[in-house]
A and B are shown apart, each in its own frame.
Chain A
Amino acid sequence: DTEVTQTPKHLVMGMTNKKSLKCEQHMGHRAMYWYKQKAKKPPELMFVYSYEKLSINESVPSRFSPECPNSSLLNLHLHALQPEDSALYLCASSQGLVFSGANVLTFGAGSRLTVL
């Protein structure tokens, strides 16, 4: 299995809702990532988990709350979002944190979030 699976593919939520994005990989990767991508912009790093511990938080607002229940799963809990948070949220994983020829990011297809 060489895939990163993200659910749901599309999510529409109001500003008072609480929802979650889910990500799963079965490649034995020990690092998992959340990226946010807006139209015509590059993917921007939000969070990095290494061995199920949060290692990087790129000053993301607290209305985004990541969770790594085990080495295969990564969640992003959403609460009180703003319309400007509408974007494609990409999950990725890698064997380890340091990038080299043998260690690259594998991305999921993304969850398209719309906040009304």
Chain B
Amino acid sequence: DQQVKQNSPSLSVQEGRISILNCDYTNSMFDYFLWYKKYPAEGPTFLISISSIKDKNEDGRFTVFLNKSAKHLSLHIVPSQPGDSAVYFCAASNQAGTALIFGKGTTLSVSS
């Protein structure tokens, strides 16, 4: 059973609008969450993270929100740009903090 779930395989957004990517997790002991972005033929690259002691972390156009009671996090990209088109993976740190558990990914397409 998947511990980190990204239920939307794809998302299409117009340039300049907000992109919201969602992620749910099942293990309440996860204490660190990350978002990675992956372009074709490249490895995933780290985007932004959040610790379970926070509910929001912002870095430029990217903001991650964490709702611990709902076991839900989301990534907001404002404004979206065509270069943001990629696969976005949500990941959580396990209890021992020694490995990352990834969701299946959401493919974001930003059209100009």
Contact = CB atoms under 8 A, between A and B. Distances in A.
Interface stretch (A67-75, A76-84, A102-110): A102-110
Contacts of A105: 34, 44, 46, 100
Given A48-B98, A105-B46, 9 more contacts: A41-B104, A42-B89, A42-B103, A43-B89, A44-B102, A45-B101, A90-B43, A97-B98, A99-B93
B98 A55 contact: yes
Contacts of A40: 9, 104-105
B28 interface: no
Contacts of B9: 40
Interface residues of B, number: 25
Interface of A: 4, 6, 33, 40-45, 48, 55-56, 90, 92, 97-101, 104-110
B97 interface: yes
A38 B46 CA distance: 20
B64 interface: no
A68 to B, nearest CB: 16
